[in-house]
Amino acid sequence: MRENQIKYAELLKTAYEKYLQVYLSEELKLGLSYLRYEFDFIHDKDSGVLGNEMIEADLKEVTNPLNEWCHLLHRWYAWNTVLESYKESGQEELEVESEFLNLIIDKCLFAPSRMKDVFINVGIESFHQIRLATDDKYEDKIEKYKYDARIRELNQELIQNHPPRWQKELILKEILSFCNHVEFFDKLERLNDDPYQKQLTKNYRNLSSHSIAPRIMSGTVSTVTRTIIKTTRIEKNEGGSYSEVEIKNSISVAYSYGGTLPLNRNELFNANIEEFKKARNCYNEFKGLLEITISKIPNNSANDNL
């Protein structure tokens, strides 16, 4: 047992040294850069008590996960490169992947959906604040929707409410009705869309949260499936042949072999890169909308007197 542990430790040590060489080399070029924290366009505006602070803080909470995702993709790319040298020994490849890469992949596959929710929640908060500062007739009543689990009652108890995403999108569209938001929503809808979620990743995120997710590279899951079907009976035809005929208002359960095959690590990486680029485009549009709408807020009187 001790001998196997030493051998395994040596494998991991060698693999990690290879990873560091790749990660720190000039060859690590994905064309993905980190976002800068440049929010000066907020500071000289009067968006209400703590309004500027809230908008800036929430914009950072959009920027942070995108930069984290970018970092994870750089690490994933480096490990993909390292794992190429272990392909001849399938067992070693799986061991290294399991030890160092699977958690990175898992976080990356959750990122598109996570970012979509962040854009929507932050958008509701920020653009609501901007409307309050620019439209005297706009009412401060978004809490009636109970759209966000961070909202608190008067007694500071959290409101345990989780409306579906489509409902929150409608709230955001209603708030953004005062400006041209078509491009932003067009980019938002493309992020974590059905082709990515259901086809390219085989519904990995939802199944990871609620059922059995497909594996990465090896292992078939849910090999026996249970399906609800319409009940049938065999009926003899006039010519002596037989046909299968449905029985009205009756259903049955059928069991069959099938299962979900593992996802390919490299195909997942390429698909996730594209989702990251969609999220970046969405971020640029989101930030651009903020800059345009915030510019309509009067300058902070304190700054005017300086």
Model-wide pTM > 0.85: no
Q: Which residues contact 164 (CB under 8 A, 6 or more apart)?
A: none
Average pLDDT on 218-235 reads 83
Structure tokens given for 177: 């009705």
The per-residue pLDDT of the chain, averaged, comes to: 85
Q: How far is CA 205 from the centre of its chain?
A: 8
Residue 159 and residue 234: Cα distance in Å, rounded?
56
Q: What is the pLDDT of residues 3-46, one digit of tens each?
A: 889 899 999 999 999 999 988 886 666 778 899 988 877 766 66
| Residue 303 predicted with pLDDT over 50 | no
Structural contact between residues 117 and 188, judged by C-beta atoms closer than 8 angstroms: no
Average pLDDT on 86-96 reads 88
Give, for 189, the enclosing helix (H) or strand (E).
Answer: helix 182-190
Confidence of residue 53 (pLDDT cuts 50, 70, 90): confident
Higher local confidence (pLDDT), 159 or 267: 267
Instruction: Give the least confident one: 79-83, 198-202, 224-228, 281-285.
Output: 224-228
pLDDT at 27: 63
Confidence of residue 300 (pLDDT cuts 50, 70, 90): low
Residue 120 and residue 173: Cα distance in Å, rounded?
10
Confidence of residue 305 (pLDDT cuts 50, 70, 90): very low
132-136, 148-152, 289-293: range with highest mean pLDDT: 289-293
End-to-end CA distance of the chain: 73
pLDDT at 212: 87
Structural contact between residues 126 and 51, judged by C-beta atoms closer than 8 angstroms: no
**b/e sequence 197-220, b meaning 16+ C-beta within 10 Å:** beebbbbbbebeeeeebbebbeee
Give, for 111, the enclosing helix (H) or strand (E).
Answer: helix 102-134
